[in-house]
């Protein structure tokens, strides 16, 4: 099944890198990109997403604030916070709101692992 994935990162290069990895893994999926949390929330109000990849360090709201806001809109959506900041506090805060933590640079292997779990979660929710 094809899913709709939201990629949020203030770096165009990081969004392109995530999109390239996603296209290699699931070319049939729909991808929507946002450059910041406010743009992502506006997109979320206009439509629904199945999965979200969120940069942690962005101007304005960070990825954890965005994850919490998206979680309120869709409590079962698989979320991943992506960051080069591997501090235990950041990882723990991501897990506390039910988001996976993926280190930057994002690799196809780490994205594959996250997406496999996300698909399993989405499929289980359907039954």
Per run of 10 residues, the mean pLDDT along the chain (length 127 residues) is 96 96 97 97 90 96 96 93 92 94 95 98 90
Residue 44's domain comprises 4-126
> Which tokens belong to 19?
């999109």
- DSSP-assigned states of every residue in 71-116: HHH-TT--EEEEES---HHHHHHHHHTT-EEEESSP-HHHHHHHHH
The CATH number covering residue 84 comes to: 3.40.50.2300
* Model pLDDT, residue 32: 97
Domain count along the chain: 1
Helix, coil or strand: residue 43: helix
Helices 63-73, 37-46: axis angle to 10 degrees equals: 10
Half-sphere exposure of 83 (CA within 13 A, CB side): 23
pLDDT at position 126 is 85
Residue 19 · residue 42 · CB < 8 Å: no
pTM of the model: 0.95
């Amino acid at each position: 099944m094809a899913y709709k994935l939201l990629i949020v990162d203030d770096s165009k290069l990081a969004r392109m890198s995530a999109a390239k990895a996603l296209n290699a893994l699931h070319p049939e999926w729909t991808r929507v990109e946002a450059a910041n949390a406010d743009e992502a929330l506006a997109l979320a109000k206009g439509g629904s997403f199945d999965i979200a990849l969120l940069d942690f360090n962005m101007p304005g709201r960070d990825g954890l604030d965005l994850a919490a806001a998206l979680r309120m809109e869709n409590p079962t959506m698989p979320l991943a916070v992506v960051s080069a900041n591997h501090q235990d506090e950041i990882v723990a805060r991501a897990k506390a709101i039910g988001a996976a933590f993926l280190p930057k640079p994002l690799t196809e292997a780490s994205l594959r692992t996250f997406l496999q779990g996300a698909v399993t979660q989405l499929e289980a929710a359907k039954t």
